[in-house]
Amino acid sequence: MNRVVVVDDDEPNLKLYAAVVKRVLGEDAVAFENPLQALERLDDLRPALIVVDYQMPELDGLTFIRELRAKPAHAFTPVIMLTASPEPALCERALEAGATLFLQKPLALADLTAQLRHYAGAPASRVTYGEVIMPTDERDTILRLFRALQAHCKDLGTHAGRVRDLAVAIANEMQLPSEEIEAMHIATLVFDIGMLSVPDKVREMPSTLPTRWRSVVNAHVDAGAAILTGGRRPLLRAAETIARYHHERYDGTGYPDGLAGSMIPLAARIVAVADTYVALISERPHRVEFTPANAVAQIVGLSGSAFDPNVVAAFERLKDKPNNFRQTA
C-alpha cells in the first residue's frame, strides 16, 4: 500500500488533501491534526509519502521534519512541506531540514496531484524526473549531498557552511546579480564534496602533509566535479564549477587546470578567498588558528598572485562590517 500521511492543524485543509489523495491514488490518507501524534505513529504506518504544513501550534513543520529524519526508518521517506508563509528563506530552510519538496500556498492542486503520483503512485504511473522538472530538484540534490558531507565529517560540513556564508557576503559586496548570489548560496555548500574521496587518516594528519599524500588531497577537486557532473540545470552546473576550480590561483599556478585571471570562473575565485580565510581562522591538527586580523593580512598579501584583486578588495571591505566575519568564527 502506498500510504500517504497528511499533517495539518487546519481541518478543512486536511479534508481537502485527503480528497486529493483519494482521487489520485485511490487510497485513504492518514490524517493528523497534531504533529506529535503523527510522529508517534509513523513507525507503524510506514508511509510512502508525508505531506506536512509549516505553521502548526504544537510543532512547526521544520521541527517535525528534523525529528522525522532522526528516525532511521524515515531518513529517506519523501516529505512535502506546504506553507502560506511569505518568509523568503523558508524554502531553503525546509530543504536543509530534510524536506524533499516545498510547495507554496495557495496551492495549485495540479502541483500536489503531480507530486502524489511521483512519490506515492503505483510504479507504472509514476511521473519521472524527466517529465516533471521542479525548480527545487537541484536544490534538493545539493542539500542532500551536503547532509552526506555533514554525516561523514561534521567539521567538513561546518567548514562548508562558513565558507558559503562568507562567499555570499563577498558576492553581495561586489554587487553581483541576485540570481548569481542565490546560486552561490546553495552551490557553495558542496564546494568540498570531493573531500569524501580523501581517506580520513590523511585529512586528520597532525602535521603538514607529506608530498606523497598531497596529490591525493589535490585530487579532491576532480572527485568533487565528478560527483556533480552531468547536471542539466544551472545550479548543479554552478556547483560543479566551484568544486572543480576553487583551488586555481589567479597567477595560473593553481590546480587542476592551471587557469589564470578571468579564465577562472568568478564564483570559484570568490570561494577561493572565503575558503582560505575560514581555513586560516580554524584550528587544524598541524597548527593553531590565525587571528581574524592576521588571516585578512595573509589574504591581502596574496592579492594578485593567489587571489583576484577585485575579490580581495571586496573581502577586505567586509572587515568594517563585523557581522560578515563573525558568522565564520
Q: How many CB atoms lie within 10 A of CB 214?
A: 12
Question: Do 152 and 245 lie in a common domain?
Answer: yes
The pTM for the full model equals 0.60
172 and 261 inside one domain: yes
Residue 166, CA distances (Å) to 187, 208, 271, 295 in order: 13, 26, 8, 14
Closest CA relative to residue 293, chosen from 280, 306, 305: 280
Please indicate, yes or no, whether residues 145 and 119 belong to a single structural domain of this protein. no
Q: Is the pLDDT of residue 147 over 70?
A: yes
Are residues 72 and 192 both part of a single domain? no
Residues 174, 76 share a domain = no
Q: Considering 134, 159, 182, which residue would you say is the last residue of a domain?
A: 134
Strand-pair category, 30-32 with 49-53: unpaired
Number of domains in the chain: 2
Mean pLDDT for all residues in the chain: 84
Contact predicate 227/280, CB 8 Å: no
Residue 198 CB-density burial (10 A; 0-12 exposed, 13-18 middle, 19+ buried) = buried
pLDDT for 242 equals 96
List, for residues 161-172, the tens digit of each pLDDT value: 899 989 999 999
Q: Which domain holds residue 209?
A: 137-326
Q: What is the CATH number of the domain that holds 296?
A: 1.10.3210.10
Are residues 239 and 223 part of one domain?
A: yes
Residues 150 and 175 in one domain: yes
Do 60 and 154 lie in one domain? The reply is: no
Q: Which of 106, 134, 162 is the last residue of a domain?
A: 134
What is the per-residue pLDDT for 75? 79
Taking CA 225 as the corner, what is the angle to CA 295 and CA 301, rounded to the nearest 5 degrees?
20
- pLDDT for 72 equals 79
Secondary structure E strands in 33-119:
49-53, 79-83, 101-104
Determine the pLDDT at residue 324.
54
282 lies in the same domain as 179: yes
Same-domain status, 166 and 310 = yes
Residue 127 has pLDDT above 50, yes or no: no
Q: What is the pLDDT of residues 265-285, one digit of tens each?
A: 999 999 999 999 999 998 876
What CATH number did the domain enclosing 81 receive?
3.40.50.2300
Using the predicted structure, report yes or no on whether residue 108 has a pLDDT greater than 70.
no
Do both 73 and 142 map to the same domain?
no
Cβ atoms of residues 20 and 64 within 8 Å: no
Question: Which of 102, 134, 166 corresponds to the end of one domain?
Answer: 134
Instruction: Give the Cα separation of 301 and 33 in Å (integer).
Output: 59
In the predicted model, is pLDDT for residue 132 greater than 70?
A: no
| pLDDT confidence bin for 117, thresholds 50/70/90 | confident
* Same domain flag for 101 and 242: no
Q: What is the pLDDT of residues 180-191, one digit of tens each?
A: 888 888 899 999
